[in-house]
Amino acid sequence: MIALGGKSRQSLASLRGTLDEQLKGVSSADCTAISHDLFSVLSSLTSSIGLRRAFTDPSRDAASKNALIADLFGKSVSKQAIALLEAAVSLRWSSPVDVASAVEQLAIEAEATAANAEGTLDRLQEELFAFESVLEQNPDLRAGLSLNGVEANFKSELLASVLGGKVAPSTLRLLTELVSALSGRTIELVIDLYIQTVAARRNRAIAVVRTRSALSASQTEKLTALLSKQVGQPVHLNVEIDPTVLGGISIRFKDEMIDGTISTRVAEAGRALAI
């Protein structure tokens, strides 16, 4: 994922928790809209060092930062995106550029959540990997997508001509955003970033279940439904058989998704499951 300094890593972890809350129970289409909004904000941040500094200036109070957000984006982005930006400017960042990197990661994860809701998250990850090979085998395509100072429509139309109807909608949307957000980086570097970030979002949708004995199909279905309801988005189970598990079952989420609230709900879901 994006390499950030100490304070920024902590802030990003907090923001990802806020993203979970903003995406909880939201439709796939709304997740995509939030992602698009965040990419739009990213464009403003990458093009203006003054805006990045204003967002991260510790001497500015929250009210003035929120007023700036409302003035610049209040009429153009969703309330969920505004909430995420307000959370971002309330946190500490090691460098002004880190807040733009964090917004980029949130935008990618929001689209990955849309894919998860559509059941295409694994496909999205696989197709991003595959696109790296496509670029290696087609240097002219790589050159066209890497051009600076080219209208975004040219790149999106080029991508659509190559990938249209061949990849999942989320894949095409993320790649379209990707080629518009290179910001001086190589396309290979940015694709790797997107792959890692999608993998991180996938981890947040996986529940690792350790149990003394194998779950039946009905138990698996019931537990999946319970956890998905609690988390507010589809959850996938990785079941591990472990005879040493006390109480019959242990459930945890990877990455930062475990916290006091979610772990309590997960524990309740485990107790509700009759084993």
Q: What are phi and psi of 269, to 5 degrees?
A: -65, -40
Residue 230 near residue 262, CB atoms below 8 Å: yes
Three-state SS at 244: coil
Residue 102 near residue 19, CB atoms below 8 Å: no
Residue 112 near residue 124, CB atoms below 8 Å: yes
249-253 sheet: strands from edge to edge? 236-241, 206-211, 249-253
Q: What is the pLDDT along the chain (275 residues), one digit of tens a residue?
A: 556 768 899 999 999 999 999 998 899 999 999 999 999 999 999 999 999 999 999 999 999 999 999 999 999 999 999 999 999 999 999 999 999 999 999 999 999 999 999 999 999 999 999 999 999 999 999 999 998 877 778 889 999 999 989 999 999 999 999 998 898 899 999 999 999 999 888 887 778 888 888 888 888 888 888 888 877 778 888 788 887 776 667 777 655 333 333 445 556 666 666 55
Residue 39 near residue 112, CB atoms below 8 Å: no
Quickly tell me which residue has 């949307």 as its tokens. Answer: 173
Quickly tell me which residue has 């080629």 as its tokens. Answer: 179
- Identify the H or E element spanning 208: strand 206-211
d(CA 202, CA 192): 15
d(CA 63, CA 47): 24
Q: What is the pLDDT of residue 219?
A: 86
Cα distances (angstroms) measured from residue 184 to each of 149, 189, 190: 11, 10, 10
Provide the sign of the torsion angle of the four alpha carbons 92, 22, 124, 160, taken in this order: negative
Dihedral angle, C-alpha 245, 258, 4, 86, nearest 10 °: 180
